[in-house]
Amino acid sequence: MFNKLSALCRILPPLSLSIAAAPALADDLGRVTLTEENDSIYSDDDQAYTQGFEFNYLGPDVAPESGWAAPFDGMSAIGLFDTGAEVSRRYQVIFGQSIFTPEDTSTEDPDPDDRPYAGWAYGGVSLIQDTDRRRLDHLELLAGIVGPAAQGRPVQNDWHQFIGIDSANGWDRQIHNEPGIMLTYERKYRFIQPLGSGFAVDAIPEAGVTLGNVMTYGEVGTMLRFGRNLEADYGPNRIRPSLSGTSYFNADYLEDPFGFYFYVGAQGRAVAQNIFLDGNTWRDSRSVDKEHFVGDLVGGVSLFWSGNVKLDAGFTYRTEEFEGQDDDTEFANINLTVGF
């Protein structure tokens, strides 16, 4: 797996926002997804992973004869992507920000045994391939900045001022500026059982690995779903680390315009590196002793009308991420996708 990932640097071409102009099948759409994850959606807490926002652009199907198909062919050549009779290939462009705080945000000198303040702003690109509606390969590269340059402090405190609640006072002790990178490869499978009248249940097991100075971990997980038009996607978009995590959607696989599903799932991660807990890589900073095994339980609902609008809402329960953490982490997410 690691040898295959190292080979990516020789295969991936320079990619940029021009991906949006990649040749596409005429009957398909590009899609924009806005994802908001926050612990205050359902409670007054403001701690741990307290805020995440992500913008995704999912491009249309890449035409097989296009030069944009070459990176996917390269992935297949080294065994990372499958080949099959029916293939849907998409590029995804990503921009986002995540914010982390300790439990007590009222003090200017936070508890050294609690997680440090940190912000992470990033951009990136993904290659996503659906093979025979039964396997999804996902290769993602994120790059950005951790520290004050990520603008976690003004985003959080300006919002707090706007809604009339106290500011977080310990941002002067946040993790220092450091360039960050994460390279992720995941594979998901779909096992589906039709129930009649358009309804079905499916199970989507996944496995993957993420490498980088921001996070390094291996993951395994499974999502269970019940609903209609399940073959259009493999679960809702989420902000990494998470179960599922792509905005992939294929309207060509809809049997009728309306679809929905309820989902539950679990993911376990073996964590070797987490800069938001370990602190900076090359200089001293606030840090705590991380837990090497972390688990998530998730649940929620997705609704979609054709390829034009999709709405997801969900909840995540995350086990303790560092030694001495007082409470597990809980947060909700809301996604809105618009096709055009």
**What homologous superfamily is domain 2-339 in, according to CATH?**
Outer membrane protein (2.40.128.140)
Output the pLDDT for position 24: 37
Element (H, E) at 250: none
Output the pLDDT for position 156: 92
Output the pLDDT for position 98: 98
Rounded to whole angstroms, how far apart are CA atoms 101 and 143? 21
Rounded to whole angstroms, how far apart are CA atoms 188 and 95? 23
Q: In terms of pTM, does the model score above 0.85?
A: yes
Q: What are phi and psi of 167, to 5 degrees?
A: -75, 155
Find the Cα–Cα–Cα–Cα dihedral 132, 128, 243, 224, rounded to 10°: -20
CA nearest to 188, candidates 250, 124, 246: 246
Output the pLDDT for position 17: 35
Output the pLDDT for position 45: 67
Cβ-proximal residues to 325 (8 Å cutoff; 6+ apart), any chain:
48, 114, 115, 291
Q: What are phi and psi of 8, to 5 degrees?
A: -60, -35
Output the pLDDT for position 42: 65
Output the pLDDT for position 327: 85
**Residue 331: strand pairing partners:** 316
Give the gyration radius of the chain's Cα atoms. Answer: 20
Per-residue pLDDT of the chain (340 residues; tens, 9 = 90+): 434 444 444 444 333 333 333 333 333 679 999 999 998 766 666 789 999 999 999 999 999 888 999 999 999 889 899 888 899 999 999 999 999 999 999 999 999 999 999 999 999 999 999 999 999 999 999 999 999 999 999 999 988 888 888 889 999 999 999 999 999 999 999 999 999 988 999 999 999 999 999 999 999 999 999 999 999 999 999 999 999 878 999 999 999 999 999 999 999 999 999 999 999 999 999 999 999 999 999 999 999 998 789 999 999 999 999 999 988 899 999 999 999 8
Query: Are 260 and 227 in contact, with CB atoms under 8 Å apart?
Result: yes
- At position 113, the amino acid (one-letter code) is D
Using CB atoms within 10 Å of the CB of residue 205, give its burial: 0 to 12 exposed, 13 to 18 middle, 19+ buried. Answer: middle
**Residue 125: strand pairing partners:** 93, 141
Rounded to whole angstroms, how far apart are CA atoms 152 and 138? 28
Q: Where are the domains of the chain?
A: 2-339
Q: What are phi and psi of 44, to 5 degrees?
A: -95, 5
Output the pLDDT for position 28: 67
Compute CA distances 49 → 116, 144, 253, 269, 320, whole Å.
11, 18, 35, 16, 12
Using CB atoms within 10 Å of the CB of residue 68, give its burial: 0 to 12 exposed, 13 to 18 middle, 19+ buried. Answer: buried
Output the pLDDT for position 159: 84
